[in-house]
Amino acid sequence: MTDLPPADPHLAPRWGTAALITIDMQVDFLSESPYGLAGTTEILPNLRLLTEAFRAAGRPVVHVVRLYEPGGANADRVRRSLLSDGAQIAAPGTPGSQLAPGLAPDPAALLDPAALLAGRAQQLGPAEHVIFKPRWGAFYQTALDALLGDLGVDTLAFAGCNLPNCPRASLIQASERDYRIVLATDAVSQVSAQGLREVAGIGVQLMTTAQITAAIGPAAAQHLDASR
């Protein structure tokens, strides 16, 4: 994929008012983890490029995460048996619940499970936050839409783990809220040609990491000019 998506005025990204949304990029979901998703560790280099590009542009980054309480009481029904049998996956306060290496702006930053489980956004940097989601979609019973509204965001670039589940649900929810939407096709795990066709059919713009970082570049230049 080398060409940019067609410039449909209703779908075209507005990079000056864009945010990056990472989905479930946590240690326990990396490829090598006992309950990890194949291909997730492999997309980390592109995720790091995206977070660095959005930070350089002065644009928001929101990491959306899972936190499964012991026993699975707050989990999706499909995972409750596994968790009630003793499995620990992204358990609050554990190393496995933390953001994947290299994604947080400060390597020493740790998630605040009490704040996140209470529904509050945790701030990691000037325009960088973490939000806990209790189900597949990033907008379901979360403060994400309100946070994006406060930040003046109308375009969302999504990346993370893993397309058939949480990213797909989040893309649909973003579409329902009339955001302009981009999917970083080489920074999301479990990608398939069919899955990409389906999300493109609801107006999601399919772009590579290189295309997104090139597009956000002018916003970065404007941010640097404004900060001088």
Structural domain boundaries of the chain? 15-65+101-222
The CATH code belonging to domain 15-65+101-222 is: 3.40.50.850
Among the listed residues 168, 172, 157, the one whose alpha carbon sits nearest the alpha carbon of residue 195 = 168
What pTM was computed for the model?
Answer: 0.94
Mean pLDDT of the chain: 94
Query: What does the pLDDT look like over 14-64, one tens digit per residue?
Result: 999 999 999 999 999 999 999 999 999 999 999 999 999 999 999 999 999
Backbone angles phi, psi at 22, to 5 degrees: -100, 140
**pLDDT of 135 higher than 80:** yes
Among the listed residues 201, 153, 208, 169, the one whose alpha carbon sits nearest the alpha carbon of residue 43 = 208
CA distance 139 to 76: 15
What would the mean pLDDT of 142-146 be, rounded to a whole number? 98
Tally of CB atoms within 10 A around 138: 27
Indicate the Cα dihedral angle 175, 172, 84, 121, nearest 10°.
Answer: -20
